Amino acid sequence: MVAGGVLGVPLGVLLLHQVDPVWFRLLVGIVLVLWCPLMLFSAHLPRLAGNSRRADAGVGLVGGIMGGLGGLSGPAPALWAVLNNWDRATQRSVIQGFNLAMQASTMLTYLLSGTVTAQALGLFAVVVLAVLVPTLLGVRLYRGMSDQLFRRLVLGLLALSGWLLIGQSLPDVLAGGSA
């Protein structure tokens, strides 16, 4: 999955200046809002069996492209993990490992391409602090979760993210504008 993602990140960065970010956010939001509740409330989800490394790499490629394009490397592997019915420890390790690799790859690609400037790097200390507290809280909450609760939480948060993406982009689309 990481190999596909590493190939996808530069493609996403190339698309960064070609794709309208408002429409990208809206379409990703719509997919998440429709797909996540379907997976959340369906007791009889199709379970994938015997998937291949090619399929994992394809999911990684999609995640890498979305990561390079909009920092959204997580939804594709998270949905893939649910479809594969992986236990929460496997899901968590795959999602965290993949996201860490894609975010690092995306940042490196942004720096090499000049997308992120040295001036913007100064803001990363604030970002680290803003991410650290919720991360530590999440680690504590994870310890008491069942596989089913973890699955519900992942899908619920992805659906909420979809609604937020729609809410952020829909006013611009309705106004006839873009970013």
pLDDT digits (tens, 9 = 90+) for 52-81: 889 999 999 999 999 999 888 988 998 888
- Residue 179 scores a pLDDT above 60: no
Q: What percent of the chain has pLDDT over 70?
A: 93
The residue written with tokens 């690609």 in the block is 109
d(CA 174, CA 131): 32
Cβ partners under 8 Å of residue 108, min gap 6: none
pTM for this entry: 0.80
State the average pLDDT for the chain: 87
Delimit the domains of the chain by residue range.
2-174
Give the mean model confidence (pLDDT) for residues 153-175. 92
> Which pLDDT score is estimated for 46?
65
Cα separation, 139 vs 13, in Å, equals: 31
| pLDDT at position 60 | 95
- The residue among 26 and 41 whose pLDDT is bigger is 26
Of 13-17, 33-37, 72-76, 84-88, the poorest mean pLDDT is in 84-88
- Per-residue pLDDT of 113-131, as tens digits, reads 888 887 888 888 788 888 8
Where are the alpha helices (H) located in 84-146, listed in sequence order?
88-113, 118-121, 124-142
**Of 82, 88, 84, 102, the residue nearest 155 (C-alpha):** 82
pLDDT band, very low/low/confident/very high, at 51 (cuts 50, 70, 90): low
Dihedral angle sign, alpha carbons of residues 163, 166, 125, 92: positive
pLDDT tens by residue, 20-40:
989 999 999 999 999 888 888
Cα–Cα distance, 154 to 18 (Å, whole number): 30
Say how far apart CA 78 and CA 1 lie, in whole Å: 12
Residue 50, by phi and psi: left (phi above 0), alpha (psi -120 to 50) or beta?
Answer: left
Residue 44: pLDDT band (50, 70, 90) is low
Query: pLDDT at position 132, please?
Result: 86
Residue 175 DSSP one-character state: T
Amino acid at position 99, single letter: N
